[in-house]
Amino acid sequence: MQVALVGITGYAGMVLYQLLQKHSGVTKIHLYDHKLAAPTKLSHVVPIFSGDHTAVFPYDDEAIISDNDVVFFATSAGVTAKVAPTYLTAKFPVIDLSGDMRLDSEAQYTEWYRKPAAPEKFLRQAHYGLADFESAKGQIYVANPGCYATATLLGLAPLVQNDLIDADSIIVDAKSGTTGAGKTPHAMTHFAQVNENIQIYKPNQHQHIPEIMLELQKWNQRVPAIQFMTTLLPINRGIMSTIYAKVKSGVTSKQLMAAYTKMYQSKSFINYTGDQLPAIKQVVGTNNCDIGMVYNRVTNVVTVNSVIDNLLKGAAGQAVQNFNQMFGYPETEGLKLQPFLP
C-alpha cells in the first residue's frame, strides 16, 4: 500500500514514519507538510533523519487522494478540522492523530480546544479509534485517541463496563513526559523548568477530558463526570494514569481481579500485572499498556495504575494498530517492539 503522512516534523509524526518504514504492507510513504512551498529533502526538514533523501511535498489534498491509499495526519489541533470534510466527502481513508475529530459536538470542541470546529455532521462521521475496544475495520475516518485518554480508558474499562464502582467516585491522577506537550517549546518545557521539578498543569481543563467522558458514557451511562488532574514529569516519554474509585457494596477483590483478567487475557497489547503496579519504563518503546490494580478493604477504594508510551500506544503505535484493523493486517504487524533499555 502507498500511504501519505502529513506532519513529519512533530514527535508523533517522526515515530510514525519509523513504524511505517518497517510495516510489511507499506510499499511507499509520501510525506507532506503544510509549511513547505516546494519539495524539500526530509533530512533538511527534520535533521535527525540525516541521509534520508525522501522528498517532503507541500500539502495537497488532491495529490494525497490520487497517489495514496490512506493518509495519516500527525498535525496540531486545528488542521484537520479544516480539511476533514474533503476526505469524508471523498470517502478516502484517514487516520487522524490530532484531537480535531474525537468529539461529536462543535460547541464542545470549541470550548476545550479553543479553535473553530469541523461541521458537526462531519464530526459525527468520525470513528473514535480506541483500538483495543473499537475496531477500525470498515471505517473511513479514524480519530486516534489522545495519550491520556488511552491510558485512562484502558485502566477504567473493566471497572466501568462491569459496573463495579460507584459511578461518581472516579479520580484520575495522570502524569506525562515532556514529549506529550509536543515539539513546540514553551516556558513550562524549558530544561531549567522541567529538570528536577514536577508541575501540575491544566487543572480540570485538559482537552482529553471530554473524549474520556464520551467513551465512559458509552460503556456506562451512569458515569456523570470524573476528577482529572495532569502533571508534567521530568522525563522524555511515558504516561502514568493512576485511578482511584469507590468499589460498590458487595464487590470483592476477587471480582475486581477477575474482571481485569477476563477482559485483557486475549488483548495483544495490554498486560494485566495484578497487584504489581507497573512502572513507565517497562512500556517505553512499545505499543503496550501495562495495568496493575490493588484494593484497600479499609477505605473501600480500588487503585489502578495504567502506563503507556505516549508516542506509541498514545499516538503513532495505536495509529498503526488502527491501520492494521482498517486494512486487515494482523494487529501486531509493525508493532512487535521491545522496551527501551536500560
Sign of CA pseudo-dihedral 29, 34, 40, 43: negative
How many Cβ atoms are within 10 Å of 277's Cβ, its own excluded? Answer: 18
Yes or no: say if 153 and 212 are a contact pair by the CB < 8 Å rule. yes
H-run or E-run covering 216: helix 209-219
In the chain, the N- to C-terminal Cα span, in Å, equals 35
- What is the rounded distance in angstroms from the CA atom of residue 159 to the CA atom of residue 249? 14
Known catalytic membership, residue 147: yes
3-state helix, strand, coil in the chain (%, to 5): 35, 20, 45
Distances (CA, A) of 281 to 94, 173, 276, 290: 31, 18, 14, 11
Yes or no: say if 84 and 76 are a contact pair by the CB < 8 Å rule. no
**29, 74, 147, 165: which one is catalytic?**
147
Distances (CA, A) of 25 to 2, 63, 272, 285, 323: 9, 21, 30, 21, 10
Q: Which of 138, 180, 124, 174 is nearest to 153 (CA)?
A: 174
What's the maximum distance between 2 C-alpha atoms anywhere in the chain?
65
Residue matched to cell numbers 494485566: 272
Yes or no: say if 43 and 49 are a contact pair by the CB < 8 Å rule. yes
DSSP-derived pairing of the beta strands 239-246 and 171-176: antiparallel
Residues acting as catalytic residues = 147
